[in-house]
Amino acid sequence: MVCAGLNIRPSSDRESMMRVFLISALAAVLPCSLFANGPEPVAPKPKVTCEQGMVYDKKTKKCVSAQDNRLTPEDLFQTVRELAYAGDYEGAQIILAAMPQDDDRTLTYMGFTNRKLGKAEAGLAFYTRALAVNPANILARSYMGQGMVEQGNIAGALAQLRAIRSHGGTGTWAETSLRTAIATGQTFNY
C-alpha cells in the first residue's frame, strides 16, 4: 500500500536510496496517517518592528534594549520567535544573549539559529545542552532531529522521534514536523 502524498523520490546516491528504503519500510508497517502533515505553529506577528537588539515593550509602547529589566522572559522569547520566523537569525541571537544562558528554551533557540546560520555542529551542541537541562523538551528534540535529517543521520532522527513520543509529544507540531522531515528530507524554517 502506498500513502497518498508521501513523497519518495528515487535517486542514485546511496544516502537517498537508504532514505527511500527506510521510508518504504516504515510506510509498509505504519498507518499512512502517520505521514500526514499535522498543524503547523502559528506564525508570530510582530506588532512593531524595532532596531536590532531592541524589543517592543507592551507596557511603555516603545522599543527598549533587550537588556531592559522591565521585560519579562516571555517578552524576550516572543521577540526571538518573531525574528527567527522572519529568518533574522542573527537578530534573534542578539536577543538570546540577553536571556538566561542555562534555560533550555534559550539553548533550544540558540541551537535553531546556529543551525539555520549553517553552523550545524554548534546547533547540535546547543540542543544537547538544552536536553541535559530538560530531557522532555520536545521542541529541542524535534529541531535536533531535523538537523540530523539535514546531515543524513536518519537513525539519530528516528531516535529523537521516539523520544518525543515517549515524553508525551505524539500528535504535537514537534512530532509531526520531525516525522515529515524524516519522510521527505525537508526540514522546517520555524
Query: Which class for 168: exposed (0-12), middle (13-18), buried (19 or more C-beta within 10 A)?
Result: exposed
Question: What pLDDT score does 42 carry?
Answer: 54
Average pLDDT, stretch 4-29? Answer: 48
pLDDT of residue 21: 52
- Could you tell me what percentage of the chain is helix, strand and coil, using 3-state DSSP and rounding each to the nearest 5? 55, 5, 40
69 DSSP 8-state letter = T
Residue 146 has a pLDDT of 97
CA distances from 11 to 8, 25, 182 (A): 9, 17, 16
- The pTM (predicted TM-score) of the whole model is 0.74
Q: Check residue 168 and report its DSSP letter.
A: T
CA distance linking residue 188 with residue 181, whole number of Å:
8
Inform me whether the pLDDT recorded for 73 exceeds 50. Answer: yes
pLDDT band at 186 (very low <50, low <70, confident <90, very high): very high
What does the radius of gyration of the chain's CA atoms come to, in whole angstroms?
Answer: 18
Q: CB 170: neighbour CB atoms within 10 A?
A: 15
**CA separation for the pair 180, 64 (Å, rounded):** 39
Spatial separation of the C-alpha atoms in residues 66 and 14, rounded to whole Å = 47
> What gap in Å lies between CA 123 and CA 18, rounded to an integer?
25
Sequence letter at residue 15: E
The least confident of 48-52, 65-69, 106-110, 159-163 is 48-52
Kindly tell me the sign of the dihedral angle through the C-alpha atoms of 10, 16, 22, 27: negative
Closest CA to 50 of 99, 91, 96, 93: 91
Categorize the per-residue pLDDT at 69 as very low, low, confident or very high, splitting at 50, 70 and 90. confident
Q: How confident is the model at residue 50 (pLDDT cuts 50, 70, 90)?
A: confident
In the prediction, which pLDDT does 28 show?
A: 43
Question: Which residues, 6+ apart, have CB-to-CB distance to 21 below 8 Å?
Answer: none
CA distance 106 to 81: 11
Quote the mean pLDDT of the chain.
82
